[in-house]
Amino acid sequence: MTGEPAQDLVDEARGWWRTDLIDISPGEIALRGYPIQELIGTVGFVDAIWLMLRGELPSRAETELFEAALVASVDHGPQAPSIAIARMATTCGVPVNGAMASAINVLGDVHGGPGQQCMELYLEIDAELGRSDEVGEATALVLQRHRDAGVRYFPGFGHRFHPLDPRTPRLLSLVDDAASDGVIDGRFAAIGRAVEDAISAGRAERIPMNVDGVTAIIYCELGLTPELGRGVFILARSVGILAHAVEQMSQGGRIKGPVPKRIGYTYTGPARRPVPHEREP
């Protein structure tokens, strides 16, 4: 026994976890204050995501723009490392939860982080606009600051596979529609376009905005933090990861690596050599 009053122990236990997200008691469940039975069949899954992350239910227009960004990020083919890892894990006998976890764990700064990084860039430019009223000038100042720090690649622009990311024009048109309707104010759309103009200046071909750049616009316009931006990208990509893992389960196969066995890999080490019988002490 600790000697502490019983009520103190109860209060400590009750205060161990604190949450504004959910309230549960026998026979009752409420998300952000809304009874679960009233949410079921009334709001959609995207609304529920917004509610849990933002604290209130979104407007219909906010839901539509948010959902469009999520749909755009669902999948990008088995050449994407996270998708390939899910499929490889499945062929190793890993159950679906293990395959999904393996895939999600590689969505780090390089493969899964550019959207978050692009949001941080946009927010930095937006903060600079507090000192400069011209978006082009603020953009140039921030980009030069990054270049002076050694940055040569700006996340959210250019694509190693698509000359023009097919998702970008459609999402930008939805952003413009939402700005025209007053759903968002459009300042991050202006910032994103200013970045594209600035990094393309003086080049023979433009460096177009990719899906990370345009979804970063949407998430900034909707008031998400950069960390939430990465999180909702992972939520969206989890759908593709799940679909690929289950498809691979149905196709079968055992211990499939990243490339077919007959192709192999490129060895760059020493040529074959004998193990010396005597070595220096």
Superfamily for 77-256? Cytochrome P450-Terp, domain 2 (1.10.230.10)
Report yes or no on whether pTM surpasses 0.75: yes
The predicted-structure confidence for 138-175, as pLDDT tens digits, reads as follows 999 999 999 999 998 899 998 878 888 999 999 999 99
DSSP alpha helices (H): ranges in the chain? 6-14, 36-39, 45-54, 60-72, 81-91, 96-104, 114-128, 135-148, 167-180, 187-200, 211-221, 226-251
Q: Which two tokens stand for residue 193?
A: 């376009």
Predicted pLDDT of residue 258: 87
What mean pLDDT comes out for the span 246-267? Answer: 90
Token pair, residue 88, equals 């490889």
Indicate the domain borders of the chain: 77-256
Q: Which of 78, 84, 110 is closest to 212 using CA atoms?
A: 110
User: Scanning the structure block, which residue is given the tokens 């939430």?
Assistant: 228
- Least Cα distance to 49 among 228, 197, 170, 196 occurs for 228
